[in-house]
Copies of this chain bind each other. A is one copy, B any other.
Amino acid sequence: MARDYIQENLVHTGRTIIREKGVEFLTARKLSEASGYSVGTIYNQFGNMDNFILIQNYLTLDSLYHRFLKIKTDSAYERLNMYAAAFAEFVLENRNFWFMVFNFHLNQSERTFSITYLRRISTMVMLIEKSFKELYPTLKPEKRHVSVQILWICLFGVSSLLTTSSLETYSKVEQTKICKFLLNTYLTGIKVLEKI
């Protein structure tokens, strides 16, 4: 069978496994059984399972990115709120996928694809930065950059907790409100600090 078709097929099968059963079920043997291809073929196509997961994570990030792209509002403030809402919504809708994104560490993976992966993240950060530029025109570019980075890190960090049950266990704050509250408090803080 054609190489591309196999990859597509495996990736698709993998995605079904993740969606329906969770990451812990995404093993070489189970993927092999579910797809009909042998274990060796998976390794021929992707080198190792980490790479396979990296590709899956890229797809997840890409999906989130395209949700962001759909958001087109004139008000920068509203747009940022919609980003945050879309983000939280996406994470909750795609728990299993986001859990994977978060629990995967780039260290050992192939450099080549890692770059593509990181670029996808920074593109999203740039979307936020664009809105920041509109919202805080007098904020120094340097400071704005740092503000955006940190906001993103916070949202990213919070999102990781949304995918696990740890939040439900100890905090009674409604999950969807966390990102919204964080964003608004943060933006208000920046507005004040902008003037200093």
Chain A residues in contact with chain B, CB under 8 A?
Answer: 103, 105-107, 118, 121-122, 146-147, 149-150, 153-154, 156-161, 164-167, 169-173, 177-178, 181-182, 184-193
Contacts and interface: CB of A to CB of B under 8 A. Distances in A.
A171 B164 CA distance: 25
**How many copies of the chain does the oligomer comprise?**
2
Contacts of A190: 185, 189
A115 B165 CA distance: 14
A156 B161 contact: yes
B178 A185 contact: no
Contacts of A150: 173, 178, 181-182, 185
A187 B167 CA distance: 22
Contacts of A160: 157, 160
B169 A153 contact: no
